[in-house]
Structure 1
Amino acid sequence: MLTRTRMLAVLLSGLCWTQGAWAQGSPTGPAVVATIKPLQFIAQAILDGEGSVSALIEGSDSPHHFNLSPNDRLRIEQADVLLWIDPKFEVYLAALFADTAASESSLMVTASAISGLTLHRYPDGELDPHLWLSQGNALLIAQALTEQLACIYPDKAPHFRAALDQFRSGIDKQAQALLRRFSNQHVADYLVYHDAYRYFEHDYGLTHSASLVADPDIQPGMREVLELRETISASSPACILLEPDASPALVNTMVQNDAVKRITIDLLGNSLESSANAYRQLIDHVATGFLSCLNI
């Protein structure tokens, strides 16, 4: 697996280098395989009709618990670039990605290792992996991918860089519009099902008062439930932001006030079709959830 130091060197130098070998393009054109749809959306904006981009994890699949099909393995082997968050987020893919990188068949771009990213951590020191919810981070990922693709396919470099400029312009306009929506407003108290919104909240000056679960894959104990119910009752939140796989029973147990609005946000954008505009559509979806939740 590429070390953090080597990956940073690759990204900063712009060299087409993969585990000791100069990367060479395929005659069929660029092939990017992303682990999750938000990364696929970013890559789609840069390829913009050239080659192929696909996501390994879609629908109800979880990055934490995922079984690869033979077709998935073939896509990984044939990819020019593998784009993922890091081995702690897509833990079930870590060993295979390490083997693929060691075989020198694909360049691996680890998003969390890209220089300049804004990274947030939980109180226990673990990285919050939902870094795609920062538009600035998305742009840095797009820049890193652009340089690697431009090296592998130099004849297509002008296309990739023009697509990057368009992606940057779209993100800038979207961010300015959202800043106007979220600024100078009295923001009501709100809850989140899972503490996954830090990047978006940081960008737009928002802070939730409590999260129902520390880990969506682990149900809280009865003591935690009772303590949180008391905290929620005292704070009188206006709404709670849920995720598609949130447990209705747990939510109803903890949030017993029917006046608390329930808004569902799909952080992975599984309902969106991949396109050059899909990343901005994902951010619009997240923003709409917050705006509806907070009556802004």
Structure 2
Amino acid sequence: MLTRTRMLAVLLSGLCWTQGAWAQGSPTGPAVVATIKPLQFIAQAILDGEGSVSALIEGSDSPHHFNLSPNDRLRIEQADVLLWIDPKFEVYLAALFADTAASESSLMVTASAISGLTLHRYPDGELDPHLWLSQGNALLIAQALTEQLACIYPDKAPHFRAGLDQFRSGIDKQAQALQRRFSNQHVADYLVYHDAYRYFEHDYGLTHSASLVADPDIQPGMREVLELRETISASSPACILLEPDASPALVNTMVQNDAVKRITIDLLGNSLESSANAYRQLIDHVATGFLSCLNI
């Protein structure tokens, strides 16, 4: 049995798992199943036409609440690699992923456990799971995935490593361009719907003044709403960054100044088609939202 300790050791040491079902791989090529589209985009850049990459959560589905279909379960069982954030983010998958990995039919790559990642935490100590918004983190995830795929399919290792090199080059160029856009600018005060942008903000020296909700799945109480509305009114923010599932009624209650711009950012990239360039497109989308919000 491949225990959690063994799975983590394999991933963090860069060793190959060479027993059981992974020794030869599938004749149809690599199969990677990611939980969310940002992870799918990273994997797609590495495979780049070899095998298949799919995401379990698409469209308006939430990573926090999701019902698996029989087809989803079949994809998980047949995957070479299962790629997710961690058990606290995709709670609904924790038991199934652990059982699948323990059966030695799939390798489970837990992104938050990869060595070297920059991880941010909320004031209560909980991990901010939106770690894909750091381009440096995305590269480390891509590196870990590349090495594991190269172990399973050694004949395709040059292809995977070429994909990684291209991914790294694209991220480096994009990060340099964004640093120029965000540096030495007077940044206006802005709000966020919920505190999900720490990784991107950290990379580019940005800080929001307040978030409307601590948890997008839990509506704040009336006292909290009134206190925050007063704070927002006093700060005169230039804009607020929303998400596709933000509650319009709650936003209207808290932000009563019509002059405050409202910019919607899709952090999961659900409107993007998966491709080798999709991760950079997602970061461009996030950056464009900030730039538009802040008039940079």
Moved more, 173-182 or 91-100: 91-100
- Measure how far apart 1:2 and its partner are: 6.9
Question: Alpha carbons of 1:20 and 1:221: their partners in 2 closer, same or farther (altered >3 Å)?
Answer: farther
Q: Does the CA-based 8 Å contact 2:22-2:106 persist in structure 1?
A: no
Q: Does the CA-based 8 Å contact 1:82-1:109 persist in structure 2?
A: yes
Q: Does the CA-based 8 Å contact 2:37-2:55 persist in structure 1?
A: yes
Taking every aligned residue pair, what percent have the same amino acid on both sides?
99
- Measure how far apart 1:13 and its partner are: 3.0
Cα deviation digits, residues 239-261 of structure 1 (max 9, x gap) = 00000000000000000000000
- Measure how far apart 1:11 and its partner are: 2.3
- Measure how far apart 1:18 and its partner are: 8.1
| Number of residues of Structure 1 aligned to a counterpart in Structure 2 | 296
Moved more, 172-181 or 98-107: 98-107
Moved more, 23-32 or 65-74: 23-32
- Measure how far apart 1:98 and its partner are: 1.1
Question: Alpha carbons of 1:62 and 1:3: their partners in 2 closer, same or farther (altered >3 Å)?
Answer: farther
Question: Alpha carbons of 1:274 and 1:264: their partners in 2 closer, same or farther (altered >3 Å)?
Answer: same
SS in 1 for 2:192: strand
- Gaps of at least 5 residues in structure 1 are none
- 1:67 maps to 2:47: no
Corresponding residue for residue 265 of structure 1: 265
Q: Does the CA-based 8 Å contact 2:114-2:140 persist in structure 1?
A: yes
Q: Does the CA-based 8 Å contact 2:3-2:102 persist in structure 1?
A: no
- Measure how far apart 1:63 and its partner are: 0.7
> Aligned equivalents of 1:90 and 1:199: distance in 2?
19
- Measure how far apart 1:10 and its partner are: 1.2
Q: Does the CA-based 8 Å contact 2:22-2:80 persist in structure 1?
A: no
Question: Alpha carbons of 1:18 and 1:54: their partners in 2 closer, same or farther (altered >3 Å)?
Answer: farther
Question: Alpha carbons of 1:19 and 1:212: their partners in 2 closer, same or farther (altered >3 Å)?
Answer: farther
- Measure how far apart 1:22 and its partner are: 5.3
SS in 1 for 2:246: coil
Q: Does the CA-based 8 Å contact 2:238-2:294 persist in structure 1?
A: yes
> Aligned equivalents of 1:105 and 1:85: distance in 2?
20
Cα deviation digits, residues 145-192 of structure 1 (max 9, x gap) = 000000000000000001100000000000000000000000000000
- Measure how far apart 1:101 and its partner are: 1.0
Equivalent residue runs for 1:96-245 within 5 Å: 96-245=96-245
Q: Does the CA-based 8 Å contact 1:14-1:151 persist in structure 2?
A: no
- Measure how far apart 1:3 and its partner are: 6.6
> TM (normalized to structure 2)?
0.97
SS in 2 for 1:25: coil
> Aligned equivalents of 1:220 and 1:249: distance in 2?
12
Corresponding residue for residue 2 of structure 1: 2
> TM (normalized to structure 1)?
0.97
Q: Does the CA-based 8 Å contact 1:36-1:55 persist in structure 2?
A: yes
Alignment RMSD:
1.5
Equivalent residue runs for 1:13-52 within 5 Å: 13-17=13-17, 23-52=23-52
Equivalent residue runs for 1:53-64 within 5 Å: 53-64=53-64
> Aligned equivalents of 1:247 and 1:3: distance in 2?
42
- Gaps of at least 5 residues in structure 2 are none
- Measure how far apart 1:102 and its partner are: 1.3
> Aligned equivalents of 1:169 and 1:17: distance in 2?
28
> Aligned equivalents of 2:150 and 2:217: distance in 1?
39
Q: Does the CA-based 8 Å contact 1:16-1:22 persist in structure 2?
A: no
Q: Does the CA-based 8 Å contact 2:189-2:236 persist in structure 1?
A: yes
> Aligned equivalents of 2:149 and 2:3: distance in 1?
20
> Aligned equivalents of 1:136 and 1:192: distance in 2?
23
> Aligned equivalents of 1:39 and 1:89: distance in 2?
13
Question: Alpha carbons of 1:16 and 1:120: their partners in 2 closer, same or farther (altered >3 Å)?
Answer: same
